[in-house]
Structure 1
Amino acid sequence: MTDTPSTPDAADRKPLVTPNFITEIIEKHLEEGKYPTVVTRFPPDPSGYAHLGHIFASFLDYRTAAQYGGKFNLRMDDTNPELVKQEYVDSMVDDLKWMGLDWEDRLYYASDYFGRYYEYAEQLVRQGDAYVDSVSAAEMSRLRGNAHTPGTPSPYRERSVEENLDLLRRMKAGEFENGAHVLRAKIDLSSPNMKLRDPVLYRIVKHPHFRQGDAWCIYPAYDFEHPLQDAIEGVTHSMCSLEFVDNRAIYDWLMEKLAFDPRPHQYEFGRRGLEYTITSKRKLRRLVQEGKVSGWDDPRMPTIRAQRRLGVTPEAIRHFASQIGVSRTNRTVDIAMYENAVRDDLNHRAPRVMAVLDPIKVTLTNLNAGQTLSLPYWPFDVVRDSPDGLVALPGGERVAPEQAVRDVPLTREIYIERDDFNPEPPKGYKRLTPGGTVRLRGAGVIRADDFQTDDAGQVTHIHASLLGEDAKAGGVIHWVSAEKALPAEFRLYDRLFRVPHPEGENATDDDDSAGISEHDAEQAQTPVDAGYMRYLTPDSLQVRRGFVEPSVLSDPSDTRYQFERQGYFWRDPVDSKEDALVFGRIITLKDTWAKDQKAEGAKQPAKKASSNVAGDAKGISGEGGAEAQKAQPKQPSLSPEQEAEVARLTALGAAEADARTLAKDDALLAFVKGAVQDASFAQVASWIVNDLAVGVRAGDVKVKAADLAPLAHMLAEDKITTRVARDALARAAASGDAPAAIIEREGLNAGLSDEDLQKAIEAVLNVNLDKVEAYRGGKTALMGFFTGQVMRSTGGKAQPQKVAEALKAALEG
């Protein structure tokens, strides 16, 4: 399914992307006639498989172009010959197309333009804007200086144009070994932006390229290739995440020196991380290489290929992507938002059938002849909520509810779950007990008359009487026929990591060190610190062997089911065969991690998610009897009035998840109606949902919603840090003072001087000399530790990006 709209008119553009600072820029450019059309691109590096970290950026690029009737390009950034592979390209193209992205015939490769990049490199040399340097990598790093010391010119910086051209051409001809020379831009060695201190444009890499073979032995750096390809392909708005904010200066420098007109511009948005997940391809490769997972498509992996094998649908992924707001700040999304998107999609897609994963045999002693029952695929709530009054059969055909049934054999011997019988039941147990009754789903009530055990005391067989439909029972359990059910293997997948932030609170999604992009880390061959592996979930894959009702054998192999009381499953598309069924659990019926996360919180507190889904994960009504109903209360769908309110709030800029939470909560909705309706609205709505909700409902929040807009503007303009904003928000909620007034009164927006930041860094390093030594020995993941220590010592006044840059200079200088 391809989610590409027709070209909209300016007056009635479909809001595929909620209004944000990028759409404001685009609309201004279109009004001014700066560009004839909008062109965006998504440029993944094919050194691994596409993953969940790509979802937000790729959909932002794609849907922004679609919203303004523009063009969207897919580009493979294949400039690292040692890591890129055709396998990775093929998987990315297939997975992104499966997700619904449509680039028509515009699939490009950076390697398509190697010749043109080289021509531009020679042009820069002839202009005196680039030179061949011959110092070692370590010496080059030393000569660049640090945040407080300007760089020192390389002894080769003033080579003549002729000498530089000769060396560059010999580099291209393969005369030199790796590391002997590099081509550097000649920009500004005293710039406070370290990226501008003569960045490397070309490296010697003697390794065959998967598309170009041995045609090249010098390869362009990302900062050189990326802006040039944007310009060549006519990209107008080049969107990337915040770790590239300093790289924009190189982008602009190249556009000026090479006189592109019209030229593209780079815009940075806040990255969206996802809890319990890593998306660094280098780290994912290590999981595969060390056998921690079975491959890139292991259903526990965060790759799109793995999610496909798991059974997640593209519609669920698109819905998740549509809920994530765009801003200028990095945020970590509560994984419940992704899981709820999957559950909500499956709730109305997956017919209900029965499977027993840990079987124990029950003989119905008074049932002499078998029966065939006609049981519905869908519970009442799904039938009731159907917009057309119809429901789907497993093959997808929509029929009247009375036709959506399947035959289920009831025989003298059946299987039930081992946990559904307890000889010594605890208080409140509502399943089968000696002498007790329980209802079999669709088959009447049974009473356990006797049971047998083995030498270890484990129950092996239960003898029961079928009492009929009118008998009383406190609970409902599922079952299958012991004679007719199909044997099957059931794979129960859990989260791969057991903590919300396996890379540490201050790590970025793509690298160990805050502020360092994966492109830089890959090209520099930065060692991968394996500390994240200690957070792998034990037994994240459990295998059960049980039985499933025989009706599934006639269904399409890609049918998603809800196995009653067990979760959502489908046949594993790789390993399942008709004579050897294998079902993988897509997701549980509800969030089973809430209790575990609370316990784990004492060890590693989870960040507050910027976009959250209030309350527990949505349960599925009508499944599992009274006990399951109590554990999983149905979340009512929104009324037409509430849906209209969601539309109004999202039009103002609120993320969809926040809008839905506000619309169904009268207290929050009344409060948010006082907010200023400008560019700050999305941030204000997020604060109300995620930071103030409990207090608003209790009537304890004294600050007015209208007073939050100035605070949101200060945060968006980088005048304050996120920590300062949240501290001011909490104090304003308690006192009633405007948060911006609190910040002004106490000088919290004054930031931190470079001198004070340097002192704080020196103090942190001096008391952690062992960690400094470990970092310099290759454990670069410690950057997150150092950043956190400095941020705490400065009371949150320092900007994390400046801290990361100054720390890197101090540690590596």
Structure 2
Amino acid sequence: MTASDADRPHSATPDAPTAARVAPNFITEIIERDLQGGKYAGVVTRFPPEPNGYLHLGHTFASFLDFQTAVQFGGRYHLRLDDTNPEGESQEFADGIMADLRWMGWDWGENLFYASDNFERYYAYAEQLIRQGDAYVDSVSGDEMARLRGDAHTPGAPSAYRGRGVEENLDLFRRMRAGEFPDGAHVLRGKIDLGSANMKLRDPVLYRIKRAWHYRAGDAWCIYPMYDFQHPLQDAIEGVTHSMCSLEFVDNRAIYDWLMERLSFEPRPHQYEFGRRSLEYTVVSKRKLRQLVQSGVVSGWDDPRMPTLRAQQRLGVTPDAVRAFASQIGVSRTNRTVDIAVYENAVRDDLNHRAPRVMAVLDPVRVTLENLDAARTLQLPYWPHDVVDASPDGQVALPGGQRVVPAQAVREVRLTSDLFIEREDFSADPPKGYKRLTPGGTVRLRGAGIIRADRFDANEEGQVTHIHATLLEDGAKAGGVIHWVSAEDAIPAEFRLYDRLFRVANPEGEHPEDILPDFDPEQPGHESGPLDTGFLRYLNPDSLRVTRGYVEASVANDPPDTRYQFERQGYFWRDPVDSREDAPVFGRIITLKDAWGQTQKAESGKPKPGGKKPKADATPAGSGGVQPALTPEQEAEVARLTRLGAAEGDARTLARDEVLLAFLADAAPGETFAQVASWTVNDLATALRSGSVSVAAAELAPLAGLLAAGTVTSRVARDVLARAAASGEAPAAIIDREGLSAGLSDAELERIVAGVLEGHPAETEAYRGGRTALLGFFTGQVMRASRGKADPGRVADVLKAALDAG
């Protein structure tokens, strides 16, 4: 049976983005080994979203890993719409997924697949399993099936229908397809192992009856395959080589391998699991995101406060920033929550070299320069000298040679007698240390000179309405600098100030002391269906503030997609949905600095009545509670660690955890530092916090060096790391004593292969009878017996020779 109708890969998609790269990890190590050993002619990966919602930031890591890995290995990547569950799926979501991925820069060319295109083939494979005695139609209720499966301490028991004959099963399955039975009357189950310790193997459901309209197939089908059945088959049909998925599917891999063996796919794909990456201050559950939309908490899927990619597009984030974020968070075998500052810093770093500096006043108060008789035309730079240099033609070059607007290095701004400044930049009763405008005080207008406030007008409520000032001569001094716009020239605009949608790092966790007391889910806007108030109670009431003000006139002729840095306010751009030429709306993409973190830091330092002032770092990273903002000292530590080579996500975790940081203090600097830092965060953190690590970080550098050189495999390195941590023995000593860095001799390998074949006579006979897919099974047994020391390519040769010789 052929695994794929598609051609084998030869080269990467030519237009794929390559600026951000996947760092070496355990999956790339496997791919390198597979290619060097000739297991596959090339790499084929796939990204398989279900079209029942829009892509969100949680998908960026998986899609980047799937697509960029193929690019780096000169392979081919596929987009697959996994549309086998008709409820909730739609063409709208399918089109939205494709649009969002194209925005990200991915071009899969002709390699677009719909799982629904292969319903007929899945059905044929299901009948093949029935004919082989590997599947049966079960007719018990769902509750009874769950009871019969047993639990972790009790093996499963067979259903009364498990013994049905092949012909009866085929007849019932065909009648299921024909629509003779109601939903839930029957299911098709794989006949695997009811006594398996892996609950997934206790006769999993492969097909169920579901009467629902499918957005592509209509009502042609009333039975649909389960994910565990369809997904591996589709991988094989497409010719996927390395099927990457998140860690919750690790137990499902046993079903994947069982299907590949029973249906004799060759060459066959393999599944590999990586740790999921969740993000602070947001939710990525499609159900919860849909709830936010349907309950009116947000204006839609593209509301800029949402974590969806279409919302990030509307917010003004660029695909370069999203790809940079995805490349920074790292690949490992453990789940991890990513500090949202990693994402926000990626956005700021991208905009810093992209956004020209202009002025806008968001909460205006009028200032009249009483002594300015005529307007002055000023030449103000778009780009401060310490940010980026413009080329001789005035254009600004980004990495890669891209040019961005504006086309000149300076713009003309008129200084007129009537101005607007920010209301907060004037204080009639200034606090100590205030360095802006005060009665009788001076301040510098950005690029225009120094003014003195002579008097001001206020309304009945005491609010300042008008400031009368004097423009001073050269040589005057001022302690602060403020921005401004001309009242005569500035363009009226609406400003939308977006912030994090949730007030706590983990809105799906429990923070009873932080519940809004006046939150009422029965109020208008929250009445659409039963709500999970456990996460809605942590909504940030200030996630959107709208003001009306003015932006300088120089922006009038810029392209509508220009991103700006409004001085002292943040990064903004015109809202692509609501902004009009005669009524511009500017949305804030992100603040200039982590103002949120500073606010949270200040609030975390407020003592509770009758209590002690909490420590800033009371909650360790990864505990599921509210992670405090990094202090300036911790931010400096992040900068130091990243300079040494640590991934930013690892650096931020280390900086906020004194135990991990203390352990890493004696780690050897150099090329091995990043790997040792990664082990500290991802492999040793729990043991370090409990005080049960007996090895020093300095002793891990030789092990990291051996791993980088390919002298030991990732599996051997992790095994040695765990043993060294428990025993205190130096990893290098373990490797030397047991000879783990040396490859096996041919004689040793042949002896291991012979032992494996002798220990599995049934599988050996099945292989020699035509089930060549069992070669993968034997390879795994040999690698396990050799403790990972055997070369996979050599294993394949020796195994095949031994099996064929019989």
Q: Which residue of 2 aligns with 1:456?
A: 461
Q: Which range moved further: 124-133 or 223-232?
A: 124-133
Relative to the length of structure 1, the TM-score reads 0.75
Question: What does the per-residue CA deviation read over 1:342-371, in whole Å, with 9 as the maximum and x for residues that have no partner?
Answer: 001101100011110001111111112222
Per-residue deviation at 1:539? 2.4
CA distance 1:444–1:308, shift in 2 (3 Å): same
Counterpart check, 1:310 vs 2:315: yes
What per-residue deviation string (whole Å, max 9, x for no partner) do you get for residues 22-77 of structure 1? 11111111111111111110101111001101111111111111111111001011
Preserved CA contact (<8 Å) 1:591 1:617:
no
The answer to whether structure 1 residue 286 and structure 2 residue 284 are counterparts is no
1-structure distance, mates of 2:404, 2:348? 21
Give the structure 2 partner of residue 487 of structure 1. 492
Q: CA deviation at 1:478?
A: 0.5
Give the superposition deviation at 1:272. 1.2
The aligned counterpart of 2:245 is: 240
Counterpart residue identity of residue 683, structure 1 = S
| Equivalent residue runs for 1:102-501 within 5 Å | 102-383=107-388, 391-392=395-396, 403-501=408-506
Deviations 1:203-249 (A, max 9, x none): 11111100111111111100000000000000000011100000000
The offset of 1:377, in angstroms, is 0.6
- Aligned twin of 1:534: 537
Question: Which whole-Å deviations, capped at 9, do the CAs of 1:696-743 have from their partners, x for residues lacking one?
Answer: xxxxx9944224888999xx879999xx99xx9xxxxxxxxx743369
Matching residue within 572, 592, 608 for 2:621: 608
Structure-2 residue corresponding to 1:592: 595
Contact 1:708–1:739 (CA under 8 A) maintained in structure 2 = no
Q: 2:727 matched to 1:741?
A: yes
Distance (Å, rounded) in 2 between the aligned partners of 1:344 and 1:195 = 45
Structure 2 unpaired stretches of 5+: 1-8, 512-528, 606-613, 655-661, 689-693, 708-713, 731-806
Q: CA deviation at 1:672?
A: 3.8
Equivalent in the alignment of 1:683: 678
In structure 2, the CA distance between the partners of 1:227 and 1:305, relative to structure 1 (3 Å rule), is: same
In the TM superposition, what whole-angstrom CA distance separates every residue of 1:56-100 from its partner, at most 9, and x where no partner exists?
A: 111111111111111100101111101111111111101111111
Native 8 Å contact 1:675 1:709 kept in 2: no
CA deviation string 1:164-187 (max 9, x = no partner): 111111111111221111111111
Aligned with 1:306: secondary structure? helix
1:698 alignment counterpart: none
Give the Cα separation in 2 of the matches to 1:77 and 1:318: 23
Aligned letter for 2:450? V
1:587 Cα deviation after fit: 0.1
Q: For residues 75 and 479 of structure 1, what CA distance do their matches in structure 2 show?
A: 51
1:776 aligned partner: none
Name the aligned partner's letter for residue 531 of structure 1.
G
How many residues matched?
A: 668
In structure 1, give the amino acid aligned to 2:579.
Answer: S
Change (3 A) 1:373 1:677: closer
Secondary structure in 2 aligned to 1:380? coil
Q: 1:5 to 1:473 in 2, by over 3 A?
A: farther
The 1:691/1:171 distance shift into structure 2, 3 A limit, reads: closer
CA deviation map 1:459-490 (0-9, x unaligned) = 11110001144310000001111121111000
Gaps (5+ residues) in structure 1?
Answer: 507-525, 619-630, 694-700, 729-737, 745-813
CA RMSD of aligned residues (A): 4.3
Question: SS state of the match for residue 283, structure 2?
Answer: coil
CA contact (8 A) 1:440 1:479 kept: yes
Q: What letter is aligned with 1:414? A: L
Amino acid at match of 1:392: V
| Preserved contact between residue 499 and residue 604 of structure 1 (Cα < 8 Å) | no
Of 61, 79, 84 in structure 1, the residue corresponding to residue 66 of structure 2 is 61
Partner SS for 1:593: helix
Q: Is the 8 A contact 1:356 1:416 kept in 2?
A: yes
Residue type of the alignment partner of 1:430: K
Q: CA 1:364 to 1:15, structure 2 compared with 1: closer, same or farther past 3 Å?
A: closer
Residue 78 of structure 1: which of 80, 83, 87 is its match?
A: 83
Code of the aligned partner of 2:460: D
Change (3 A) 1:227 1:707: same
Deviation at 1:152, TM superposition (A): 1.7
578, 583, 603: which is aligned to 2:586?
A: 583
- C-alpha separation in 2, matches of 1:333 and 1:474: 40
Matched, 1:706 2:710: no
SS in 2 for 1:128: coil
Asked whether the 8 Å contact 1:282–1:528 carries over to 2, the reply is no
Go from structure 1 to structure 2 and tell me whether the alpha carbon gap of 1:471 and 1:567 turns closer, same or farther (over 3 Å shift): same
Summarize the Cα distance change of 1:481–1:527 in structure 2 as closer, same or farther, 3 Å threshold. closer
Normalised to the residue count of structure 2, the TM-score between the two structures is: 0.75
Task: Quote the Cα distance in structure 2 between the aligned partners of 1:534 and 1:23.
Answer: 42
Give SS of 1:416's match: strand
Contact 1:445 1:473 in 2 (8 A): yes
Query: What is the identity, as a one-letter code, of the residue corresponding to 2:248?
Result: E
- 1:318 partner amino acid: R
Q: What CA deviation, in whole Å up to 9, does each residue of 1:740-794 have, x standing for no partner?
A: 33699xxxxxxxxxxxxxxxxxxxxxxxxxxxxxxxxxxxxxxxxxxxxxxxxxx
Verify the 8 A CA contact 1:78 1:111 in the aligned structure 2: yes
Q: After superposition, give the CA deviation of every residue in 1:621-676 in whole Å (9 maximum; x if it has no partner).
A: xxxxxxxxxx99x99999xxx99x96xx76xxx536668999xxxx9999443689
Aligned counterparts of 2:236 and 2:387: Cα–Cα separation in 1: 51
Bigger Rg, which one? 2
One-letter code of the match for 2:562?
T
For residue 647 of structure 2, what is the aligned residue in structure 1?
655
Q: Distance in 2 between matches of 1:398 and 1:243?
A: 43
Q: 1:60 to 1:567 in 2, by over 3 A?
A: same
Inter-partner Cα distance in structure 1 for 2:506 and 2:39: 42
Deviation of residue 408 (structure 1)? 1.2
Greater CA deviation, 248-257 or 590-599?
590-599
Q: 2:51, 2:89 within 8 Å by CA — same for their partners in 1?
A: yes
Asked if 1:100 corresponds to 2:105, the answer is yes
Per-residue CA shift, 1:386-442, capped at 9, x if unaligned? 799965399x856999x4111112111111000000011001000000000000111
Q: Distance in 2 between matches of 1:636 and 1:199?
A: 49
Structure 1 702/19 Cα, relative in aligned 2: closer, same or farther at 3 Å? closer
The residue type equivalent to 1:569 in the other structure is: F
**Aligned partners of 1:76, 1:203: CA distance in 2, in Å?**
20
> Distance in 2 between the 1:78 and 1:708 partners?
47
Alpha carbons of 1:607 and 1:586: their partners in 2 closer, same or farther (altered >3 Å)?
farther
Alignment counterpart, residue 574 of structure 2, candidates 571, 575, 579: 571
Report the 3-state secondary structure (helix = DSSP H, G, I; strand = E; otherwise coil) of the residue aligned with 1:382: coil
Maintained 8 Å contact 1:383/1:390: no
Cα 1:250–1:637 change in 2 (3 A) is closer
SS in 2 for 1:332: strand
- Residue by residue over 1:515-554, the C-alpha shift from the partner in whole angstroms, topping out at 9 and shown as x without a partner, is xxxxxxxxxxx99844111111112111001111111110
Tell me the CA shift for residue 372 of structure 1: 2.0
Once the two structures are aligned, what percentage of the paired residues are identical? 66
Change (3 A) 1:263 1:481: same
